[in-house]
A and B are shown apart, each in its own frame.
Chain A
Amino acid sequence: MKKYILLLMGLVSLTAIAQKDPVISPEDLNGIRAIGSPANPKVKVYWNKYSDQAEITRICQDLAKAYPELVKLESIGKSVEGRDLWVMSISDFKSGNADRKPGFYIDGNIHANELQGTEVALYTAWYLAESFQTVDFIKQLLKDKVFYVIPTINPDSREYFIKSANNPHSSRTGRRAFDEDGDGLTDEDKLDDLDGDGNIVMMRRKSATGRWKIDCDNPQRMIPAKQDEPGEYEMLGYEGIDNDGDGLVNEDATGTYDPNRDWAWNWQPDYVQRGALFYPGTLPETQAIKAFIKKHPNIAGAQSYHNNGGMFLRGPGAAEDDPFYDRADVDVYNFIGKLGERMVPGYKYFVIHKDLYTVYGGEIDWLALNRGVFTFSNELMTSYKLFNDKAAAERGSNQEFEEFDKYLLFGDGYVQWKPFKHPQYGDIEIGGPKKNYLRNHPGFLLMEDAHRNMAFTILHAQQMPKLEVIEVNNKDLGGGLTEVTATVINRRIMPTHSSHDVKYKIERPDYITIKNAEVIAGMIVENEDFNLTKEQKNRPEKLEIRNIPGMGAVKVRWVIKGKSDKAAIEVDSMKGGVVSKTI
């Protein structure tokens, strides 16, 4: 009997929850659910593979269909070859106007061979939607903020990388064709998949004068012969033939540019910054994204996923732009970046031009310095992940990838060397890493790293401003006048305007407005104890505040006619959202 009662009670409470939240599946409430993951998601996705455009479209559409109050899908334009650039807006659409909440922008895959940015972006959208009902933190997050997620901003070249023959480093570009030598022809001499296996690997040839040899410990690997030792092979580069008979192999491939050099901050031409085109925004993808971001001035934080090396990168891309990052802004980045190093083992917090290389006209700089958006770019995947350890030697001479392939991938990472008859080189051998090895995560590491990097980005997003009117004091000034003093606090570390934004007035000021009151005067209180104020003569009811600092507050004051009992105070900040309080 007692058992029954217990069972009954259990049933009742289960039913109660189920009635309260019909969206939560029973599996999500019992022991099959692994903590941190939805056990029975409405939208089924395998996170140990890469998605092509059709699958990306399916996931986006399914999420929008399954969670109409959380996920809205739109296409913001088309790529060069006419594919949709999908944006998912993710927020609790039932509470407040989503486009007026602090917004966080996420994209991935601007470099098309860097596939997994897309998967991290998709995972984030999926996780947020599927966890909304079960994880209170996420529920609050989506109440406060909106996420704009573009899984791939280079869909043409992604499709080309996935569906056509490539090597790990090829197809970084987009697919717009340019005539490289002025002869009116494009794509005259591309990479050639000699054996038709979808991978472009290396070519080697036995040679009496060659300076390369096979690594005895690791026959897959070619190493340079010692200085005083004869070699056995010469290396002939990536698989290819001289298609146009000009004595050069693979010299004229489609789209030899860099979409991440197409952005309008300190843009420089190709001879200064390799990969640049005519002007920033030559590509339709760049134009579409810029238009979207300009249309959403509520975007306060951004993440653009790349691979590889395990880095949280912040700008600037060029040393001469360092002065645009002052202490206060750098402090925000430092907080997130340093915490990130703990959240994602093996990843380092870096500055692009100092720790990586100089980049002019990069997307990160445009977001951060033209739009005033706090922006990180994560370089996903690092050899640290292979054995959860730092590489024993420099990249190029380390053996982690070969060893990992041998013990954990059972040889799946490489095309084994095999003979081939080449039209120009004669008898050669071809072999080497498959296109999805080295830079893109092996399947079983993908989901873990997607989650960790998403968590880093959620940390970043959560620190976007959160404003609150915490205190309103009324003082009778006599003569029928009341003095109303209000304090507005920002409960996060990100200010409503970066210092850089304040300096160049990128975004309009925040407005703190008193409503339903006849205002005689309005002022910003600079120091309440010493009664230092700054009056705003024009439109005193709508006070213009240059910035509400991170974890800081501003105080404003009005002198109004009569009593303030009907008045309300509204804070309207582009990047901080809209909040109000009735007195």
Chain B
Amino acid sequence: MRTKLLILGFSMFFSCLYAQNTYNSHAAITSRLKNLATKNNASGSVQSIGKSSGGKDIWLFTLSKGEAAKKPGVLVVAGADGKHPAGTEINLLLLEKLLSLPADSLSSVLSSKTLYFVPALNPDALEQVVNKIKYARSGNATSTDDDRDGQLNEDPFEDLNGDGLITQVRIEDPTGNYILNKKESRLLVKADPSKGEKGKYLLISEGVDNDNDGEFNEDGEGGVNIDQNFTFDYPIFEKGAGEYQASEPETRAILDFLYKSINIHTVLTFGLSNNLSEAPKFDRMKTNKRIVTGILEKDALIGDFVSKMYNSKTGLKDAPAMPQTKGNLTQTAYYHAGRFSFTTPGWWVPKVEEVKDSTKKEAPKPVVAKKEDSSPEADFLKWADKEKIDAFVNWTSIKHPGFEGKKAEVGGIAPYLMQNPPVKYLDSAAVKHQRFLAELLKAMPEVQIVNPKVESLQNGVSRVTVQVLNRGLLPTYAEMGDRVRFVYKVKTEVKLANGQSLISGKKTNYRGALDAGEVIEYSWLVNGKGKLTVEAGCPTAGIQTIELNIK
């Protein structure tokens, strides 16, 4: 009896802290979001922005007080590439942490901003993490002919050793061109003939060649990786990219939402590229062509500013280089939708310091890593060993039908783990990113009308002058936004009352993005008396209205 109670208490304690110890299924994500919305119905709501090709809802969690669309917004997206459930988990934890802030500190953020969360953009693919057989699946449920031979999924993976994980198979064979990694003997590396190395192993994915075409597992159930299906720099006819740009419902759902949410100033993506640890550099050659492929000059400065903010607020270091990939969401959000767009994996393998000999008191020399020693896989295993994570499936012999009479062994790093650690490691990642997000929100633009002035000229004519100022640390929107049709310009409009008329000055004035601290002045000559209003701003930076009185 007592043990039962204890267990019950224990599990309650766990669920309160959201300390689930595995990644979530779509059903679990759904109930997690719905519970959050129920508990926080004053500021949070959940809705579906569309369905995946496999029919799963793509959830949007809106965090806002009052009219969400009327306030500048930040969209936080994760899980575009299904092999990155860690991004989804960080996104969810971040949301949960925001909602557990003291009420007054949360409402001070939400009084002027709206936060949108789409934690699982590619739910079909993300589901693989809870499926019986695990392989790091990127693609949705769309059936694809990955090798374009007219047959669908004719050569999938097989779990040859029955451990539920798809790893690798190594076969001892004179034609193999792999040898053991000298420093980390669990891993294989390509033999380098120029160093006198001779190959010993063939290395293939875990499976058999079902269609006898000499290639292993080249066309399994895979679908389209949403993070390769976006419009910018789209990789034509590449495996996983889909039949054409924006062919997938998930891609269109998020783009429809982004384009129509004209208040979204910044998109933050947890994904498999990183432009936050190190900001992209401005390159004029890439920006002065009809098709722009490099960040614009002013936006590069902002990128730098935000990158410094990121590094100082998260304290994260040693990020592996993760360049932007073709057809991804992050670049499309910037180059095509014209919003600021930042991306980070949120978590990466921490560097394991070599244990130093404490008897020697020399200044630490910069370690020049040897190429063959410092593969990401070796670094990962070093960290996993230190953390006692069971990350490697040890090589064990099997009978492989394609290599009869040969020594074949299944083994390798377990799927997902290198980019998706056990979930307990992600809590601190979420805390760090919450600090960054808070700082980013503080820096958001805010348009204000300042120093309004009414000067009475003669015979009922007055001159009305206002200054429109961006009080934030970020521009009202990205410089790229000034090129994009669906990003709305800064508008200043005078609204006259009955009996008033405009003698000089345009009723409606448009101009491009206002930089941080930038101010612009407008004046009008008005004939008549009484109240008039001036409205200024843009959806990404807020709109302010003031009332003036003409005597």
B259 at the interface (CB under 8 A from A): yes
In whole angstroms, what is the CA distance A183 to B488 when docked? 9
Given A246-B507, A247-B506, A267-B245: A272 and B149 within 8 A (CB)? no
A264, B506: Cα distance in complex, Å: 41
Q: Is A30 an interface residue (CB 8 A)?
A: no
Contact of A281 with B252 at beta-carbon distance under 8 Å, contacts A181-B488, A181-B491, A272-B290 already known: yes
B residues 471-517 with Cβ under 8 Å of A? 483-486, 488-489, 491, 506-508, 510
Given A279-B251, A505-B148, A182:B246 Cβ within 8 A = no
Given contacts A182-B538, A269-B484, A270-B485, contact A366 B244 (CB under 8 A): yes
A36 on interface, CB distance cutoff 8 Å: no
Q: Known interface pairs A504-B236, A505-B148, A508-B150. Does A272 touch B488 (Cβ–Cβ under 8 Å)? A: no
Does B50 count as interface, using CB distance less than 8 angstroms? no
Beta-carbon contacts of B510-551 to A below 8 Å, as 1s and 0s? Answer: 100000000000000000000000000011000000000000
Structural contact, B244 and A538, CB atoms closer than 8 A: no
What 0/1 pattern do residues 38 to 58 of B give for CB contact below 8 A with A?
Answer: 000000000000000000000
The complex places the Cα of A342 from the Cα of B36 at a distance, in Å, of 71
A509 to B491, CA, bound (A): 57
CB distance from B51 to the nearest CB of A (A): 15
Decide: B252 and A508 in contact? CB cutoff 8 A: no
Q: How far is the CB of A26 from chain B (nearest CB, A)?
A: 51
User: B459 within 8 Å of A by Cβ?
Assistant: no
**With A269-B484, A272-B290, A538-B212 given, is the CB distance from A182 to B489 under 8 Å?**
yes
Given A271-B483, A278-B255, A280-B231, A264 and B290 touching (CB < 8 A)?
Answer: no
Q: Mark A56-69, 1 if CB is under 8 A from B, else 0.
A: 00000000000000
Partner of A267, one of B149, B231, B251, B485: B231
Tell which of A246, A280, A544 touches B245, judged by Cβ atoms closer than 8 Å. A280
Min CB gap B176→A, angstroms: 21
CB of A25 closer than 8 Å to a CB of B: no
**Contact (Cβ within 8 A) A271 B247:** no
Q: Which partner residue on chain B sits nearest A294 by CB separation? A: B243
Which parts of A515-551 form the interface with B (CB within 8 Å)? 537-538, 544
Within 8 Å CB of A269, what residues of B? 231, 335-336, 484-485
Asked if A132 is at the interface (CB within 8 A of a chain B CB), the reply is no
B145: interface (CB < 8 Å): yes
Q: Which of A264, A268, A508 contacts B244 (CB 8 A)?
A: A264
Give per-residue flags for B17-51: 1 if the beta carbon is below 8 A from chain A beta carbons, else 0: 00000000000000000000000000000000000
**Chain A proximity of B208: nearest CB distance (Å):** 13
Enumerate chain B residues within 8 angstroms of A270, measured Cβ to Cβ: 484-486
- Chain A residues with CB below 8 A from B508, complex form: 181, 246-247
Asked if residues B148 and A506 are in contact (CB atoms below 8 Å), the reply is yes
- What string of 1s and 0s marks CB contacts (under 8 Å) between B262-283 and chain A? 1000000000000000000000
CB distance from B233 to the nearest CB of A (A): 11
Given known A-B contacts A271-B485, A508-B150, A509-B149, A537 and B538 have beta carbons under 8 A apart: no
A280-B246 CB under 8 A given contacts A247-B507, A509-B150, A538-B212: yes
A264 closest partner in B (C-beta): B244
Q: Does B101 contact A (CB under 8 A)?
A: no
Q: Which single member of B148, B255, B488, B507 contacts A279 (CB below 8 Å)?
A: B255
Q: Which residues of A contact B244 (CB under 8 A)?
A: 264-265, 280, 366, 370
- B245 pairs with A279, CB closer than 8 A: yes
B291 at the A interface (CB under 8 A): yes
Q: In the complex the two chains form, is B245's CB within 8 Å of A508's CB? A: no
For B209, the closest partner residue in chain A by CB is: A538
Residues of A within 8 A of B336 (CB): 269, 279
Is B256 positioned at the interface, with any CB of A under 8 Å from its CB? yes
Q: Would you call B485 and A182 a contact (CB within 8 A)?
A: no
A323 on interface, CB distance cutoff 8 Å: no
Answer whether residue A245 sits at the interface, using C-beta atoms and an 8 A cutoff. Answer: yes
Contact (Cβ within 8 A) B149 A505? yes
Docked complex Cα distance between A270 and B487 (Å): 11
In the complex, how many residues of chain A place their beta carbon closer than 8 angstroms to a beta carbon of chain B?
Answer: 30
Closest to B232 in A: A269
B211 within 8 Å of A (CB atoms): yes
A245–B507 touching, CB < 8 Å: yes
Q: Give B150-172 as 1s and 0s: 1 = Cβ < 8 Å from A's Cβ atoms.
A: 11000000000000000000000
Q: How many Å lie between the Cα of A278 and that of B211 in the bound state?
A: 41
Cα of A182 to Cα of B492 in the assembled complex, Å: 12
**In the docked arrangement, what's the CA distance between A124 and B304, Å?**
60
- Among A294-333, those with CB < 8 Å from B are 294
Chain A nearest CB from B537 CB (Å) reads 10
Partner of A182, one of B236, B290, B291, B488: B488
A84 to B128, CA, bound (A): 40
Quick check: A538 and B243 within 8 Å, CB to CB? no
Among B149, B244, B335, B491, chain A packs the most CB atoms within 10 A around the CB of B244
Structural contact, B213 and A538, CB atoms closer than 8 A: yes
Q: List, in ascending order, chain A residues with CB within 8 A of B14's CB.
A: none
Instruction: Specify the chain B residue showing the minimal Cβ separation from A265.
Output: B244
Give the complex CA separation of A506 and B259 in angstroms: 31
CB <8 Å contact, B150 and A278: no
Q: Contact: B491 with A182, CB < 8 Å? A: yes
* Cβ–Cβ < 8 Å partners of A294 in chain B: 243
Q: Which residues of A contact B251 (CB under 8 A)?
A: 279
Within the assembled complex, what's the spacing in Å between the Cα atoms of A509 and B230? 28
Most chain B CB within a 10 A radius of its CB, from A181, A183, A269, A508: A269
Bound: A192/B291 CA distance, A: 36
Cβ of A442 to closest chain B Cβ, rounded Å: 37
Name the residue in A182, A270, A272, A537 with the highest tally of chain B Cβ atoms < 10 Å from its Cβ.
A182
Task: Report chain A residues within 8 Å CB of B491.
Answer: 181-183
List A466-508 residues whose CB lies under 8 Å from chain B: 504-508
Instruction: Give Cα A278–Cα B488 distance, bound, in whole angstroms.
Output: 14
Which residues of the partner chain A approach B483 to less than 8 Å between Cβ atoms?
271
For window 203-253 of chain B, which residues contact chain A by CB distance below 8 Å?
211-213, 230-231, 234, 236-237, 243-247, 251-252
B residues 100-153 with Cβ under 8 Å of A? 145, 147-151
Q: When the two chains form their complex, are residues A281 and B246 in contact, meaning their CB atoms are under 8 A apart?
A: yes
A278 near B256 (CB under 8 angstroms)? yes
B211/A505 in contact, CB under 8 A: no
Which B residues are in CB contact (< 8 Å) with A271? 483-485
A505 contacts across to B, CB distance below 8 A? 147-149, 237
- Which residue on A lies nearest to B482, using beta carbons? A271
User: Nearest chain B CB to A109's CB is how many angstroms away?
Assistant: 23
* B447: min CB distance to chain A, Å: 13
Instruction: Kindly state the separation between the CA atoms of A509 and B149 in the bound complex, as whole angstroms.
Output: 7
- Provided the pairs A246-B507, A370-B244, A508-B150 are in contact, do residues A538 and B211 lie with their beta carbons within 8 angstroms? yes
Q: Which A residue's beta carbon lies closest to that of B480?
A: A271
The answer for the CA separation of A265 and B234 in the assembled complex, in Å, is 9
Q: Report the minimal beta-carbon distance from B122 to chain A, rounded to whole angstroms.
A: 17
Knowing A505-B149, A544-B149, the reply to whether A278 touches B245 (Cβ < 8 A) is no
> Which of chain B's residues have a CB closer than 8 A to the CB of A268?
291
Please provide the 10 A-B residue pairs with the shortest distance between their CB atoms, ordered closest to farther: A508-B150, A182-B488, A505-B148, A264-B244, A271-B483, A279-B246, A538-B212, A270-B485, A504-B237, A278-B259
A contacts, CB < 8 Å to B: 181-183, 245-247, 264-265, 267-272, 278-281, 294, 366, 370, 504-509, 537-538, 544
A-B contact pairs, 12 of them (CB 8 A): A182-B538, A182-B539, A183-B491, A246-B506, A269-B231, A269-B335, A270-B484, A278-B256, A280-B246, A506-B237, A538-B211, A544-B149
Given contacts A267-B234, A280-B231, A281-B252, 10 further A-B contacts (CB under 8 A): A182-B539, A265-B245, A267-B245, A267-B246, A270-B484, A271-B483, A271-B484, A278-B256, A504-B236, A544-B149
